[in-house]
Structure 1
Amino acid sequence: MICIVDYGVGNIQAFLNLFKRLGIEARRVNTPEALSDAARLVLPGVGHFDHAMQRLNDSGLRPKLEELVLEDHVPVIGICVGMQMLATGSDEGDLPGLNWLPGHVRAFANQPENATLPMPHMGWNELQPLAHSTLFSRGFDDAPQFYFLHSYYFDAQDKHDVAATAKYGLDFDAVVSRGHIHGIQCHPEKSHHWGEQLLKNFVEL
C-alpha cells in the first residue's frame, strides 16, 4: 500500500489524484495504526520548515515512521518541504530535521550567485539526472522539466546521494537518494507526465 502521510501539511488530495490516474492504490494516513501495511511512504510538505517539523512531531506519527524507514527499510520519498525535512537542519528554522539523509537546507538568498534573482524560485526548470539514479532509470528523456516553488534548497552532505541537480543561480541538489530514502524538491504532482513517471518509478523500485 502507498501511504501518503497526512500530518496537516501538504496537498494530500493532489497525490491521491495522481496515483489514481496511474492506477496505483494509495491512501491518506494520519495515525500510526494506519501505517501498519505501508509498502511505500510519501512525505509531502509545503511552507515553513519549523512549522512542518513541529506538525510532524505533534502528530504522533514520527516514531512509527522512523521504525518503518530506519528499521524496516520501507522506501520513502519526501517532496518539497518533505524533502527538506529529511535533512539534519535548515537555515529556515531552529528545529532539527529528521536526519534520515544527512545534509543542510540553505537559503538561496544567502548565495552570491542568487543575489539578483527573484525569490522564490518559481516555475518550470530542467532537471539534470545523474546516471546512477534509480528514480530516473525508466521513462525519461535527457531534459525532464519539473515545476518548482521554493526559496531554500537541500545541500547533501555526501554528494554521492545526489540523484539530480537543477540550476537557479547555482547548481543545487534537486533530487537526493540514499538506498530506500529519496527526496525531491520540485512538485511531481504539478509536473505532468514527468512527475507521474518519477512517482511510478518510485513505486516500482
Structure 2
Amino acid sequence: MVAIIDYDAGNIRSVEKAFDYLGAETILTRDNREVLRADHVVLPGVGSFGDAIRKIDEYGLRSTIKQVVDEKIPFMGICLGQQLLFDSSEESVGACGLGILRGKIVSIPDRDAEGNSYKIPQIGWNSLKFPREGKLFKGIDEGAYVYFVHSYYLDAEDKSIVTATCEYSTTIEASVESGNVFACQFHPEKSAEVGMQILKNFLNV
C-alpha cells in the first residue's frame, strides 16, 4: 500500500491517480498509524514552503515523516515535497524544513552566466542528466524529458545524493536519493511514460 500524506497540498489527487493507474493500492491519510503501516510513503506538494511546513506541523506530521525515514520505509517527496525534506528555503525565511537531508532551497536566477534571461517560474518540459546512478531512473535514458513547475530549487549540502539535474539558467538539482529517501523536483505524475516508469521504479524499491 502507498500512503500519500494529506496535508492539504495541491497535487495530491493527481499523484493518487498516477499510482492507481499503476495498479497500486493507495490511501490519502495524515494518520500516523496508517502511514507507518504502508509499504511506501509519498509526500507530494504544490505551493509555498512556509505554508506547507506550517500545515505539516499543524497536523503533527513532522514526527511521523521522520519515523517513516527511521523505520526504513521507502519514502518519496515530489516537487515541494522534495524541498520540504531540507533545512530552509529563501521563499519562506525563518521557516524550518524537515531537516531529513542537509541543504537549502534557493531562488532560480532569471539570468544565466552569459546574461540570457529566463522566465520564472520554470514551467514545462526539461531534459535530465544523471550525475550518478539512481534507483528511480532504472530503464530511463539520460536526456529523458520530465515536467517542471517551480521558482525555487535545491542546493544540497552533500552533492553525492543528487541523482538527476537539468539546466535552466543554472544547474537544477532535480532528484536526490539517500538510503530509503527519494525525491524529485519535477512532477512524475505529469511526465507521461517517463514519469510512470519513475513511479514504478519507486514501487519496486
Would you call these one fold, judging by a TM-score over 0.5? yes
State the identity as a percent.
37
**1:84-122: CA deviations, max 9, x gaps?**
001111111121111111111010137754772111011
Residues 6/115 of structure 1: CA separation in 2 closer, same or farther (3 Å cut): farther
Residues 148/165 of structure 1: CA separation in 2 closer, same or farther (3 Å cut): same
State how far apart, in whole Å, the 2-side matches of 1:115 and 1:109 are: 10
Which residue is equivalent to 1:156?
Answer: 156
TM-score scaled by length of structure 2: 0.93
State how far apart, in whole Å, the 2-side matches of 1:181 and 1:148 are: 20
Which residue is equivalent to 2:174?
Answer: 174
State how 1:189-204 maps to structure 2 within 5 Å: 189-204=189-204
**1:132-179: CA deviations, max 9, x gaps?**
211112x31232110001010011101101000000011121101111
Which residue is equivalent to 1:136?
Answer: 137
Task: Give the superposed CA RMSD.
Answer: 1.6
For 1:75, give the aligned amino acid.
P
Q: Is 1:8 paired with 2:8?
A: yes
**1:66-89: CA deviations, max 9, x gaps?**
1121x2111111111110001111
Aligned length: 203
State how 1:1-205 maps to structure 2 within 5 Å: 1-69=1-69, 71-93=70-92, 94-109=94-109, 113=113, 116-137=117-138, 139-205=139-205
Determine if contact 2:4/2:12 at 8 Å carries over to the other structure. Answer: yes
State how far apart, in whole Å, the 1-side matches of 2:176 and 2:148 are: 15
Residues 111/100 of structure 1: CA separation in 2 closer, same or farther (3 Å cut): farther
Runs of 4+ in 1 over 4 A off after TM superposition: none
Determine if contact 2:89/2:106 at 8 Å carries over to the other structure. Answer: yes
For 2:89, give the aligned amino acid.
S
Offset of residue 25 of structure 1 = 1.3
Determine if contact 1:31/1:60 at 8 Å carries over to the other structure. Answer: no
TM-score scaled by length of structure 1: 0.93
For 1:132, give the aligned amino acid.
E
State how far apart, in whole Å, the 2-side matches of 1:10 and 1:202 are: 21
Structure 1: 5+ residue stretches without partners: none
Structure 2: 5+ residue stretches without partners: none
